[in-house]
Amino acid sequence: MGYRMKNRLIKAMGIFLAVALMAVGCGQTGNVGTEQGGNEKNGEAEEEKSGENSKEGGGKKDSVTLTVEASQEIVNNIPYAFSEENIEAFEKEYPEIKVELVLNPDAQNTSILQTKLASGQPSDLICYNKVSAENELEVAKNCVDLSVEPFVENIADKEILTAPDGKIYGFAFEVKTGGMGVVYNRDLFEEKGLEVPKTYDEFLDICEKLKGEGITPFYGPFKDVWTFQMWTTSTWGYYAAKFEPDLWERLNANEIGWDEVPAFKESLEKAYNLYKDGYMQSTVLSDDYNSITAAMGSKEYAMTVGSNTTVRDLLNAHPDIKFDMFPYPVYEGEEEYLTISQLDAEFFIPKDAKHIEEAKAFLNFMAKPEQCDRAQNAASFVPNVKGAKEPEFDDFEGRLYEEYNKTGKTVLEMNAYMKVDLNDLWVYFQDMFAGVKTPEEVLISWDAAFEELMKAKGIENF
């Protein structure tokens, strides 16, 4: 190794070290700077950062970055809550506030939000399912009580936003109308002369006919753990609402076990038999929710699990095909009722948020008829804001709204009544399709896991 080379190396290392030290320094100040600036362009990392700092050091009024955290799934499901037009309007009204969306991968969303809440470093606003937030994020403990905020006066039905303790912790634009059910290719049904089934036997007849035509009747996207539960939360929700209204209460009080409700087993068996009898594709555990788009567009499959969002996404992806939805025909009379899911998402303000006042301003701004009407441009919904206009639903959503919501023929999904995370149960569903557990064993295992989870939560009788 020559002497020149040594020198060069020493120089290189020196530069390296200098850059490192400089960068650490910059990072330190940049940290404080971007907290306020949040410059989107953010091109040439270091130089611009320091430039930005000196600018802000010059005594300009501090600008605030208001962070709004949500999962991709939520933004996808309720685009109106994140209407860009509304956010622009807000930033115009409050020029010193800049809104930044923090999107988490779905699988890690809960974990990230909980971690940030527990460590006192949450975003300024969190968008999360209402009931799940009450359980998983402990909003009563972690979030600001908004019961006396001005926006509450604008809400048409306050009950929808009220938590079990009687307080209001969040805001949402809408009255929940979207349902869950069997999503199907209407064109394909018409082509084959099939009617929407009214009973489980009719459903099986349809399956048999479709199978005879070389079409796989039902597409199961069960690689994702949360997809099959749309079947159970709907059907079990209907069963309890119709036949045993106090069932959830009794389960939550440990007065009855999950394995002691024969109707639960019935629904699971019906689903599993569809798979076993070849009415579902053999690769149910290899195909995920995302693959629905391609599968349902291919005409090789006629039906699948899903919600309003699924139908809307399918219609967008395949404008030339008509898709629609009907209730699961698992139990008697179920075809007349649509299962409504819990409120998709509310905006909450964590107690430890850095910009609580600005976050409140955001909610008060949004909860006005103008904003509510503007949000309709992103997707239609039934507003829960006084003075807001009625939605213009497209074809299928309008029909569902007229047929079920307006006539009161809706039931609430099971998940809305649960106090613990249901992931274990969903995992057992996969075990069922993998042939590791029978429907009965699924319920027995879940009953044990449920007990543990309730006990860990400190709930009475467990």
Partner 1 sequence: MGARRKAVWKRILLQVVLLLISLVIIAPLLIMLLGAFKNPTEVTSFNLDLPEKWLFENFKAVIEQGKLLPAFWNSIFITLVSTAATIMASSLAALVLARRNTGFSRFLYYFFFMGTIIPMQIMPTIRLFTVLDIYGGYLNVMILYTAINIPFSCFLYTGFIKGIPKVLDESAFIEGASALQTYFHIILPLLKPCNITVLILLFTGIWNEINIPLYFLNNPAKRTLPLSVYQFFGMYGGSNWNLVFADLTLAALPVVILFLFMQKQFINGLTEGAVKG
Partner 2 sequence: MRRTGHIYTYLLTIPALLLFGIFFVGPSVYSIYYSLTDWVIGKDSVSFIGLENYRTIFGSDELTHAIYNTFLYAVIVVIGKNVNGLLLALAVNTRMKLKGYFRVIFFLPCVISTIIIGLVFVPVLHPNGILNAFLGNIGLGFLQQGWLVDTKIVMFSIAGVSIWQWSGYHMVIYLAGLQGIPDSYYEAAKIDGATAVQSFFGITFPMLAPAFNINMLLSLIGGLKVFSEPYALTNGGPGNASQVIALEVFSKFGRGQWGLGTALNVTLAIFISAISIPVLYFMRKREVEE
Distances (CA, A) of 87 to 90, 363, 371: 5, 11, 9
3-state secondary structure of 286: coil
**Cα–Cα distance, 20 to 277 (Å, whole number):** 64
Where does this chain bind partner 1 (CB under 8 A)? 1, 5-6, 9-10, 13, 16-17, 19-20, 23-24, 27-28, 30-32, 34-35, 38-46, 65, 67, 72-73, 76, 100-106, 108, 112, 115-116, 118-121, 123, 288-294, 317
Q: Is 78:344 a contact under the CB 8 Å cutoff?
A: yes
Task: Report the 10 Å Cβ neighbour count for 460.
Answer: 8
Contact between 36 and 63 under an 8 Å Cβ cutoff? The reply is yes
Q: Which stretch binds partner 2 (CB under 8 A): 181-189, 315-323, 330-338, 423-431?
A: 423-431
Q: In the complex, what is the shortest distance from the CB of residue 312 to partner 1, in angstroms, rounded to a whole number?
A: 13
- Between 423-433 and 262-276, two packed helices, what is the crossing angle to 10 degrees? 40
Residue 13 interface partner, choices partner 1, partner 2, none, CB cut-off 5-8 Å depending on type:
partner 1
Alpha-carbon gap, residue 141 to 457, rounded angstroms = 14
Measured between alpha carbons, how far is 199 from 212 in angstroms, rounded to an integer? 20
Site for partner 2 in 212-241 (CB under 8 A): 223, 225
Instruction: Report, in Å, the least distance between residue 14 CB and partner 1.
Output: 8
Residues 6+ apart with CB under 8 A from 177: 308, 340, 381, 382, 397, 400, 401, 405
SS3 content of the chain, % helix, strand, coil (to 5): 55, 15, 35
Give the residue with the Cβ less far from partner 1, 35 or 246.
35
- Is 109:126 a contact under the CB 8 Å cutoff? no
Judged by CB under 8 A, does residue 104 bind partner 2?
Answer: no
User: Residue 99: what are its φ and ψ, rounded to 5°?
Assistant: -95, 130
Q: Which does 430 bind (CB under 5 to 8 A by kind): partner 2, partner 1, none?
A: partner 2
Binder among 29, 423, 438, 444 for partner 2 (CB under 8 A): 423
Query: Under DSSP, is residue 36 helix (H, G, I), strand (E, B) or coil?
Result: helix
- Rule CB under 8 A: is residue 427 a binding residue for partner 2? yes
* Site stretch for partner 2 (CB under 8 A), options 164-172, 281-289, 294-302, 341-349: 281-289
CB of 299 to partner 1, least distance (A): 14
Query: Which of 169, 437, 439, 443 is the binder for partner 2 (CB under 8 A)?
Result: 437
Alpha helical stretches, state H, 277-368: 292-297, 308-317, 356-366
- What secondary structure does DSSP assign to 63-121, as a single string? PEEEEEEEEHHHHHH-GGGG-HHHHHHHHHHSTTEEEEEEEE-HHHHHHHHHHHHHTT-
Going residue by residue from 112 to 141, which x/- string records binding to partner 2, judged by CB under 8 A?
--xx-xx-----------------xxx--x
293 or 423: whose CB is closer to partner 1? 293
Residue 50 sits in the site that holds partner 2 (CB under 8 A): no
Binds 461: which of partner 2, partner 1, none (CB < 5-8 Å by kind): none
Task: Select the span of 103-111, 229-237, 339-347, 396-404 touching partner 2 (CB under 8 A).
Answer: 103-111
Neighbour count for residue 348 (Cβ, 10 Å): 29
Q: Is 433 in the site for partner 2 (CB under 8 A)?
A: yes
Nearer Cβ to partner 1, position 294 or 436?
294
Sign for the pseudo-dihedral over CA of 40, 43, 46, 47: negative
Structure-block tokens of residue 196 = 């929407």
Minimum distance, C-beta of residue 115 to partner 2, in the bound complex (Å): 7
Q: Which does 262 bind (CB under 5 to 8 A by kind): partner 1, partner 2, none?
A: none
Site string for partner 2, 285-324 (x = CB under 8 A): xxx-------------------------------------
Q: Which does 427 bind (CB under 5 to 8 A by kind): partner 2, partner 1, none?
A: partner 2
| Partner from partner 2, partner 1, none binding residue 45, C-beta < 5-8 Å depending on class | partner 1
Binding site for partner 2 (CB under 8 A): 107-108, 110-111, 114-115, 117-118, 136-138, 141, 223, 225, 282-283, 285-287, 421, 423, 427-428, 430-437, 456-458
